[in-house]
Amino acid sequence: MSQILHEFLRPQPTGGTIVTFHKDSDVATQRQALVRSAGEGVRSLSGGPGRSAEMSDDAPAFHLEDVGIGVISEHVDAQRSAGILSGEESVVEARPEFWLFAIQDFQDTADRTWGIAATGAETSQFTGAGIKLAVLDTGLDFEHPDFTGRNLVQQSFVTGQLAQDVQGHGTHCCGTAAGREVSQGVPRYGVAPEVHLHVGKVLNDSGSGRERDIINGMIWAIQQGCAVISMSLGRRVRQGEGPSAAYERVGELALDSGSLIIAAAGNDSARQFGFIAPVGAPANSKSIMAVAALDENLKIADFSCGEINAGGGEVDIAGPGVNVLSSVPRPQLYDVKSGTSMACPHVAGIAALLAQSDANLRGKALWTALTDSAKALSAPASDVGAGLAQAPQGAPDEGYGKTPVA
């Protein structure tokens, strides 16, 4: 049994390498280390509106100057590169790059939304107006009737693919976080229907994505000024495996910039058989909020990962994640899915409502507001963190939300 579980949890490398540099090392030193380990032709990506969307495969390495992270191509000799990097004083961590996947394992055919009521979004007078919320996933069906005519920002970070969603996972997550308040013939399923939605395609049309594209998308969302960044994606980690320095660096940048990254904890447990898997990456980073999934009875979902690993592998909060109705690409339009992927955008939508309720709730302050206002549950904190995310109640101030506040 243990051997089977070991194989089940084995990460899948892309062949590339993620390099994280010390914060006090300068850009030139970092670039020189990448050139020595990967060869000439290292391409730099820096901040600002001209940021390149794609990390194409025509360069030996890319340098994300904003956060001191390098990505070495899978076409470079990894063993030779690792040997050179091991001698570089400027390097904190050099590790294999892994494939991350849309966290989506369970579906049902239930026809009603219960998450809106459980989180209090149904009675909240806040709508997310004026708040920028990013969903980093497989994209969105931009012709879906619940999203046409809305002011959306879109960007694809997947080489050769548009931000249009053909897989379905991203449209479902966008719907939960930001679907219309009223849709013909369908109950309300969107938590924050008036947010300014930013759609970043970081997972390809098959539902998987390279870490380089996901990190690039995270930085883009931060630079766009998104108060909330929702990521229903990840990979399994082994028991005892610590968080990645690269994701921790980007998570810290987000908090310092007034953004909060919220990520799905993972669907790798089988609690009915007594197996609880550790919170996956990147949700296992201390600076990224990890979301567990609950069922309609507010019990921990059988598949939801738990606090097994120390150093960032805690569950921070929980959201509705079983039998969740939301949008999917045409022609079907709506479907019910289960997973921590469905819980994550519930919490992200609640975060947007809180951000609208108080302009001071940004970054770490928004994190604290989410956990302080969560509904206590009977399950241990190792499974559900602070509890079920709750929408702010009360009336918005006069004129609040008329102009963007984030």
- Tens of pLDDT along 118-129? 999 999 999 999
Q: What confidence score (pLDDT) does residue 404 get? A: 45
Split at pLDDT 50, 70, 90, the class of 382 is very high
Q: What is the set of active-site residues?
A: 137, 169, 341
In the prediction, which pLDDT does 58 show? 85
Q: Which residues contact 222 (CB under 8 A, 6 or more apart)?
A: 229, 250, 253, 254, 257, 259
- What's the whole-number mean pLDDT along residues 72-96? 94
pLDDT over 70 for what percent of the chain? 91
DSSP helix, strand, coil percent of the chain (3-state; round to 5): 25, 25, 50
Read off the pLDDT of residues 343-366 as tens digits, 9 standing for 90 and up: 999 999 999 999 999 999 999 999
Report residue 52's pLDDT band, with 50, 70 and 90 as the boundaries.
low
- pLDDT attached to residue 104: 58
- CB atoms inside a 10 Å sphere around CB 405: 16
Query: What confidence category does residue 218 fall into, taking pLDDT thresholds of 50, 70 and 90?
Result: very high
Residue 102: predicted pLDDT: 86
> Would you state the pLDDT for residue 394?
79
- CA–CA distance, 14 with 209 (Å, rounded to integer): 10
Please give the pLDDT value at position 6: 36
Q: 89 versus 45: which is more confidently predicted?
A: 89
Please say if the pLDDT value at position 200 is more than 50. Answer: yes
Sequence-distant (6+) residues with CB within 8 A of 227 are: 131, 132, 133, 258, 259, 260, 351, 352, 355, 362, 366, 406
- Angstrom distance (rounded) from CA 54 to CA 51: 9
Written as six digits, the tokens of 169 are 């996972």
Name the pTM for this structure.
0.89
